[in-house]
Amino acid sequence: MTRAIAVAVLSLCLSFVAGIAVADKVRDWADLESAHNHVQEAIHEMDRARAANHYDMAGHGVKAEEHLRAAERELHEAIEAAKAAR
């Protein structure tokens, strides 16, 4: 069960990263805001998966969440910069 949850979380993170890699060029801050919302959803999914796994993922869940939170901060900064440049 715990291995299945870990695989599901890893799949979610990898599919998100793959989506970013093949995404169209960002046209305005609304596109960035959409990506920001997806990252927030991924953080919530990660939190639920970690809780279901009793927070025991050999440290990988914590590291994945840290990376998602860093991505969230960077997207927020990018949105603010795009709004300021308009």
Q: What pLDDT is stored for residue 33 in this prediction?
A: 83
The 8 Å CB, 24+ separation contacts for 66-69 are: 67/13, 68/13, 68/39, 68/42, 68/43, 69/43
Q: Does the reported pTM lie above 0.85? A: no
Provide the residue count of the chain. 86
Q: What pLDDT is stored for residue 3 in this prediction?
A: 73
Cβ atoms of residues 65 and 47 within 8 Å: yes
pLDDT over 70 (residue 17): no
Q: What pLDDT is stored for residue 40 in this prediction?
A: 87
Q: What pLDDT is stored for residue 27 in this prediction?
A: 58
Q: What pLDDT is stored for residue 75 in this prediction?
A: 84
25-78 pLDDT, tens digit per residue, is 555 667 778 888 888 888 888 888 888 877 777 888 888 888 888 888 888 888
Which two three-digit tokens encode residue 62? 């914590």
